[in-house]
Amino acid sequence: MFELSTHVPTLDVLEKVDLSPYHALYLGDPTCPMVPGNISSDPVLVERALQLAKEEGKKCYLSLYAEPRNRDLPWLEELLEKVAHLPLDGIEVHNLGLVRMVRRLGLSFPIHLGVFANLYTHETAKLLYNMGVVRVFPNPELSLEEVDYIRTHAPTQVTLQIHGKIPLGISEDCFILEYSGGKRCKEVCFEPHWLVSGKWKLKNI
């Protein structure tokens, strides 16, 4: 079975972008909870996004913050408790502590391991399956042969990136904001920024 999916960070994107080719949507931007309108930072937005997406016949997974610190755990737990009754098709986590939190709260949602968890081997996938993870996203730098090996040697489903930028997570402080000259977070987040070193270039998303 193949399922074509994409991340939808905000309601604005959900309402204005043609998402008809996709079978499933990962709701929220996992890179930063401060992204203006981030669906996965507000249970009210989660419920509204679910309503809109389900009307279009989409499967919906909630994409949680990828790199939480201890100070983030209380609000993430509160978020999970408030969405527990919603018809989500799964939860995407990038952190083993959140795998445990989902299970500790007694939530029955299938768990997907996101790309920022840096999964490289089938042995890790098998271990995570025993923890309740049903789908994994191997690190994008792996070859197709390596990804296929994980697929055939572990009981989990496997996500494969087929289009778009290869994600690179840098946390915890936003160095873009640090060098923004006093601009607000929401202003800086949607401006293009480049980090250049010789022939090597890195652009924010």
Q: What is the pLDDT of residues 159-179, one digit of tens each?
A: 998 877 777 665 556 666 666
Residue 131, pLDDT above cutoff 70: yes
- Measuring CA to CA, which residue among 189, 140, 147 is closest to residue 167? 140
pTM: 0.86
Q: Are 65 and 79 in contact (CB under 8 A)?
A: no
On average, the pLDDT of the chain sits at 90
Name every residue whose Cβ is closer than 8 Å to that of residue 123 and which is 6 or more positions away in sequence. Answer: none
Rounded distance between C-alpha atoms, residue 98 and residue 77, angstroms? 9
Query: Between 134 and 205, where is the model more confident?
Result: 134
**CATH code of the region 5-163:** 3.20.20.70
Residues of the chain with CATH 3.20.20.70: 5-163
Cα 21–chain centre separation: 19
